[in-house]
Amino acid sequence: MKVGVVGAAGRMGRMLLKGTIAAADCTLAGGIEQPGHPEIGADLGRLAGLESVGQALGDDAIALFAAADVVLDFTLPTPTAGFATLAAQGKTAHVIGTTGLGAAEEEALTLAARHTPIVYAPSMSLGVNLLMAITEKVAAALDQGFDIEILEMHHRHKVDAPSGTALGLGRAAAAGRRVDLDAHAVRSRDGHTGARRDGDIGFATLRGGDVVSEHTVIFAGQGERLELTHRGTSRDIYALGALRAARWVFGKPPGLYTMADVLGLG
C-alpha cells in the first residue's frame, strides 16, 4: 500500500512519516508541505527522526495524490477540504484526522466521498473511539437526571477549542440521548449564568504545558457520579490509528467512513 502524507513537516506529519516508514506493509509514496515551507527538499526519513530514505519533502499535492493509494491528512480545515477534492479526482483514499472543520469543509468531504473512500474522525486514537461508543451507550442508559459535562485538556499550542474529540464525545452523548447537540451544547460559562438547564451538554476546556490529550465525560446524578476518561500520553496513538484506518479503507467503495466503521463499531 502506497501511503502519502500531507503536512509532513508538522508534528503529526512527522509521526505519520515515521509510522509509515516503519510499517512492513506500507511504502512511502511521498510527503508534501505548502509551497515556500523552509523544510522543502529535506529528506523525509530525516524529518521522521530516522535514517535517510532518499525521498525529499515536496510541495506538489496533485503529484502526491496521483502517486499514493491512501493519503494521511492531519493539517488544517481549508487545506483538508482542498485535499479531499484532489482525492476525489484521483480516486485516492483519504484518511483525515484534521480537527476544527466547519460546515463548508465537512460539505466538501461529503461531496468528495461520492467518488472516493474517506475516513474522517475527530480522533484517530483507538481508545478515544471506544470511549465515544461507550459514551453513547451510557447516555442512552441514564435518564435526564444525569447531567453530562465534557472536560478536555491539551498542550498550550492547540488552536481550536473545544477539541474535535470533545465535540465528537458531545455528539456521541447527544446521539445516546436522541437530541441535537447544537441545540443543547453549552461551550462556555462566565458570570451569572443562572441554574443549569436540564438536558444541557456542557464543555470545559483547559490548555497548558505539553499535555497530549485528556478527555473526561462526566455523568453527574443525585448522589452519584460516573466519569469516563481517556488520557493520551504520546502522539504515536494517532499515527497508529491513522495507519489502521488506511489499511481498512484501501480498496473500499466510495463513502464517508468513521473510525467506528474501522473498528467494527458502526
Mean predicted confidence (pLDDT) in 17-46: 97
Residue range(s) occupied by CATH 3.40.50.720 in the chain: 2-120+235-262
What region does 91 belong to: left with phi over 0, alpha with psi -120 to 50, or beta?
left
CA pair distance 158, 63, nearest whole angstrom: 30
Q: Is residue 224's pLDDT more than 80?
A: yes
What CATH number does domain 126-232 carry, 3.40.50.300, 3.30.360.10, 3.40.50.360, 3.50.50.60?
A: 3.30.360.10
What local confidence, expressed as pLDDT, does residue 105 receive? Answer: 97
First vs last Cα of the chain: how many Å apart? 25
Q: Is 158 a catalytic residue?
A: yes
Instruction: Map residue 125 onto helix, strand or coil.
Output: coil
Catalytic residue among 154, 184, 215, 230: 154
Q: Is residue 59's pLDDT more than 90?
A: yes
CA pair distance 62, 131, nearest whole angstrom: 36
The verdict on domain 2-120+235-262 having CATH code 3.30.1360.120 is: no
Q: What's the whole-number average pLDDT of the chain?
A: 96
CB-neighbour burial class of residue 41 (10 A; exposed 0-12, middle 13-18, buried 19+)? exposed
Q: Is residue 266's pLDDT more than 80?
A: no
Catalytic residue among 2, 37, 115, 158: 158
pTM of the model: 0.83
Residue range(s) occupied by CATH 3.30.360.10 in the chain: 126-232
Which pLDDT tens digit goes with each residue over 114-132? 999 999 998 899 999 999 9
Name residue, grid cell 497548558: 208
Instruction: Map residue 216 onto helix, strand or coil.
Output: strand
Task: Say which amino acid occupies 199.
Answer: G
Which pLDDT tens digit goes with each residue over 82-126? 999 999 999 999 999 998 899 999 999 999 999 999 999 988 999
Mean predicted confidence (pLDDT) in 62-71: 98
Q: Please, which residues have CB within 8 angstroms of residue 153's CB and are 6 or more apart in sequence?
A: 205, 206, 207, 208, 211, 213, 214
Question: b or e along 9-27 (b: 16 or more beta carbons within 10 Å of the residue's beta carbon)?
Answer: bbebbbbbbbbbbebeebe
